């Protein structure tokens, strides 16, 4: 099974090719010409004499067949135009097919082949001015679409693509974990930094740092997640062990949130799913049951491919922090250090305190050490 979903977008129209609007207009005009000839052929049969009926009926059937094909390709062109996953070349192909069938309909009817003029429109190369105008319009449309997507998702194109890949990963891996919604709640409690273990029980503290009391958390699920290395523990001075997600646990939690449909409705259903995966003919049944009670670790491919998307707001905040750090590291103003007062006697520079600017990090380190 592939691990990443391809990011499918409409291909850019090659230089010189007709625009999608031109392809649609040509296809519809060609279909109208073909249908018109089919109607004329049918009218001729209705008004014909007995001697010419056989020949006119043959013409009518041939023209009708080509008209049906022309309409089919024109309708397909309109469907492709509404499908953002279709390449731009698909519209051009549909338009050419429609024109070909329209020409054949006119030839079958013995009429003037005016549909050939539409071929010229499809094959005509754009002038430099027309191409520049098209590029300007294309960039404007792309900018508008990007602005709409950013407003709707709060992310740029790269992070939207990453979010789509994450959803694809979740669909392929969450069910393999064999979790219920209860396992997700345990990890969410650990993510909050308030999940702790004391006296053989798991609880979620009411406040961070107060490792006493709080809401009870499933002991069995907590032990299973810890045994499978989705949780890790840090012992406190009072004997409590604070449980937090491991990197694998955090990734699994994020994927489970993206695809809650992959969670099982009950512990029994999750156990049966895990049992089906570990079931082997050569194994004793008790060994299979013991293996099914254990949680499987998240597949390494999902761990390596998952990346948490970064929103535009987070990017902006990170850029501000980095700019502030650079400013301090380069000797700029540091709010943690009080600026020395200027000398009271300008004529005695030796009495003025010496300014000693240091970076923010070194100032903080001096207070810690």
282 in the same domain as 193: yes
Q: Is residue 90 part of a domain?
A: yes
Shared domain for 246 and 187, answered yes or no, is yes
Structural domain containing residue 43: 20-128
CA distance 102 to 97: 9
Looking at residue 12, its pLDDT comes to 46
Domain boundary among 72, 103, 128: 128
**Would residue 41 count as lying in a domain?**
yes
* Run means of pLDDT, 10 residues per run, the chain, 369 residues: 45 61 91 93 86 86 94 93 83 92 93 89 78 83 88 90 92 93 95 92 91 92 94 89 95 95 94 86 80 90 91 89 79 58 46 38 30
Q: What CATH number did the domain enclosing 181 receive?
A: 1.10.10
Its pTM stands at 0.57
- Sheet-wide strand order for 241-245: 215-217, 201-204, 195-198, 241-245, 231-235
- With the CA atoms of 84, 88, 92 and 93 taken in that order, what torsion angle do they form, in degrees rounded to the nearest 10? -80
Q: Is 287 contained in some domain?
A: yes
On whether the CB atoms of residues 118 and 30 are closer than 8 A, the answer is yes
Number of domains in the chain: 2
Say whether both 187 and 117 belong to one domain.
no
- For residue 330 the two structure tokens come to 């380069």
On whether both 114 and 197 belong to a single domain, the answer is no
Residues 182 and 254 in one domain: yes
- Note the pLDDT of residue 11: 45
Same domain, 79 and 189: no
Task: Single out the residue of 159, 26, 1, 182 nearest to residue 97, CA to CA.
Answer: 26
Could you tell me which of 242, 267, 266 has the C-alpha nearest to residue 191?
Answer: 242
Residue at 321 is within a domain: no
Q: Are residues 41 and 109 in the same domain?
A: yes
Look at residue 87 in the predicted model and tell me its pLDDT: 83
Report yes or no on 359 lying in a domain: no
Q: Are residues 172 and 244 in the same domain?
A: yes
Tokens of 33: 């010409």
> Is residue 152 included in any domain, yes or no?
no
- Helix or strand (DSSP H, E) at 215: strand 215-217
């Amino acid at each position: 099974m592939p691990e990443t979903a391809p990011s499918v977008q409409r291909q850019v129209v090659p230089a010189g090719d007709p625009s999608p609007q031109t392809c649609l207009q040509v296809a519809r005009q060609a279909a109208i010409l073909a249908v018109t000839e089919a109607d004329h052929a049918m009218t001729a049969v209705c008004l014909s004499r007995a001697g010419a009926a056989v020949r006119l009926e043959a013409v009518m059937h041939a023209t009708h067949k080509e008209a049906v094909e022309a309409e089919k390709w024109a309708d397909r062109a309109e469907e492709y135009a509404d499908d953002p996953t279709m390449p731009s070349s698909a519209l051009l192909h549909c338009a050419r097919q429609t024109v070909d069938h329209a020409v054949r309909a006119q030839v079958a009817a013995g009429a003037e082949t005016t549909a050939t003029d539409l071929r010229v429109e499809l094959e005509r190369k754009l002038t430099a001015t027309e191409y520049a105008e098209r590029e300007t319009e294309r960039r404007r449309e792309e900018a508008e679409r990007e602005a709409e997507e950013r407003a709707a998702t709060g992310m740029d194109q790269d992070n939207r693509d990453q979010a789509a890949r994450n959803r694809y990963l979740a669909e392929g891996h969450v069910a393999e974990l064999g979790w219920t919604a209860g396992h997700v709640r345990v990890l969410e409690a650990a993510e909050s930094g308030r999940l702790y273990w004391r006296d053989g029980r798991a609880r979620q503290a009411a406040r961070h740092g107060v490792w006493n009391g709080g809401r009870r958390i499933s002991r069995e699920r907590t032990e299973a997640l810890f045994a499978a290395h989705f949780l890790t523990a840090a012992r406190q001075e009072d004997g409590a062990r604070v449980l937090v997600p491991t990197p694998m646990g955090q990734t699994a939690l994020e994927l489970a949130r993206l695809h809650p449909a992959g969670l099982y409705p009950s512990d029994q259903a999750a156990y049966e799913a895990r049992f089906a995966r570990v079931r082997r003919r050569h194994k004793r049944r008790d060994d299979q049951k013991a293996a099914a009670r254990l949680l499987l670790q998240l597949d390494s491919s999902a761990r390596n491919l998952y990346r948490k998307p970064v929103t535009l707001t987070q990017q902006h905040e990170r850029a501000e922090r980095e700019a502030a750090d650079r400013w301090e590291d380069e000797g700029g103003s540091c709010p943690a250090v009080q600026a020395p007062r200027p000398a009271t006697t300008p004529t005695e520079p030796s009495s003025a305190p010496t300014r000693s600017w240091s970076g923010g990090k070194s100032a903080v380190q001096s207070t810690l050490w």
